[in-house]
Amino acid sequence: MYRDQIRQAVTSEFYQSLADSGVEITAIPQAQLQALVRALADGMFAAMDAVEAEAYGDTAPEAMVAAEAVANADTGEEEQLLWRGRPYMSIGVRYELTSQRLRVIRGVLGKDFDEIELVRVRDTKVKQHPGERAINVGDITIISNDPSSPETVLDNVRKPLEVRELIRHATLDEKNRRGLHYREEM
């Protein structure tokens, strides 16, 4: 759920609670009351960011993580966490790039995991609108040979060109590690 949707839900709940309680706020002009409700919603985002950062041990939700070891039971190889991020201005979705796979984790209370093995990644592309370029946010599309998700979009990623390069290098490294080579016919 994106911030605008949450802000709208908070606003409607706020006004519904006021109506249910029978309290009328006439001393505050309507524009100032709306600004107050928006500030309340933004405070919720800050609190949720702090809770998420504490829960995952991040100092910042978009922290670049150099090397966090994750044991891989299949091969005995150690999987390194290369990057962790979230879509800009949203909650409940997290992206993780390791040395062997890309994960999309959805949910605040429950969790839904989607994974793409890096050896299956065929191509990546970045799309940015002018407004997104101004704040350095964009969508990264991952095209893969994965039958369950041949095309996966990472929405509203901060520094999308840098993240795309991380994905590209991790994909090449993993294919080389496994001894996979391809030949393209022209």
- Could you list the beta-strand ranges (E) of the chain: 68-71, 78-85, 93-98, 101-106, 112-117, 121-127, 137-144, 151-158
What pTM did the predictor assign? Answer: 0.61
Q: How many angstroms from the chain centroid is the CA of residue 122?
A: 21
Domain with CATH 2.30.29.30 in the chain: 68-177
CA distance 167 to 173: 10
Confidence grade of residue 155 (pLDDT, cut at 50, 70, 90) = very high
The correct CATH number of 68-177 out of 2.30.29.30, 2.40.50.140, 3.40.50.10490, 1.20.1560.10 is 2.30.29.30
Confidence grade of residue 54 (pLDDT, cut at 50, 70, 90) = low
User: What pLDDT score does 108 carry?
Assistant: 76
Residue 61 pLDDT more than 50? no
Which among 177, 163, 179, 181 has a CA at the least distance from the CA of 102? 163
Average pLDDT over residues 98-126: 90
